[in-house]
């Protein structure tokens, strides 16, 4: 069962500061980190069903003025055994 996702967020450059402020105060975002590379920020959503995560991304993240694109990476259940 999926219970979390990382979301890469692209931001319109001149609105970066206001988007960062919104991401840090948006309820439902467990972690927010500005990053370099393909995305301008990565957010982590936890404890939600895939349907609720999808809805959150569409209705909350993409609704923020200055967010130009998102890409969702589902956290899959895994078991890792260290030897």
CA proximity to 53, closest of 80, 20, 28: 28
Asked if the model's pLDDT at residue 13 lies above 60, the reply is yes
φ, ψ of residue 41 to 5 degrees: the values are -155, 155
Q: Is residue 83 domain-resident?
A: no
What is the distance between the alpha carbons of residues 19 and 2, in angstroms, rounded to a whole number? 27
Q: How many domains does the chain have?
A: 1
Q: Is residue 81 domain-resident?
A: no
Q: Is residue 80 domain-resident?
A: no
pLDDT digits (tens, 9 = 90+) for 25-62: 888 899 999 999 999 999 999 877 888 899 999 999 99
Q: Is residue 62 domain-resident?
A: yes
- 54: left (phi > 0), else alpha (psi -120 to 50), else beta? alpha
CA 28 and chain centroid, separation? 10
CATH of the domain at 44: 3.30.70.920
> Which one has a higher pLDDT value, 8 or 82?
8
Asked if the model's pLDDT at residue 83 lies above 80, the reply is no
Domain hosting 37: range is 4-74
- In this prediction, residue 56 carries a pLDDT of 92
């Amino acid at each position: 069962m999926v219970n979390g996702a990382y979301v890469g967020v692209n931001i319109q450059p001149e609105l970066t500061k206001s988007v960062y402020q919104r991401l840090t105060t948006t309820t439902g975002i467990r972690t927010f980190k500005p990053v370099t590379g393909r995305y301008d920020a990565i957010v982590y959503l936890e404890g939600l069903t895939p349907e609720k995560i999808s809805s959150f991304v569409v209705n909350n993240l993409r609704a923020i003025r200055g967010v130009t694109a998102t890409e969702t990476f589902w956290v899959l259940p895994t078991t890792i055994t260290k030897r």
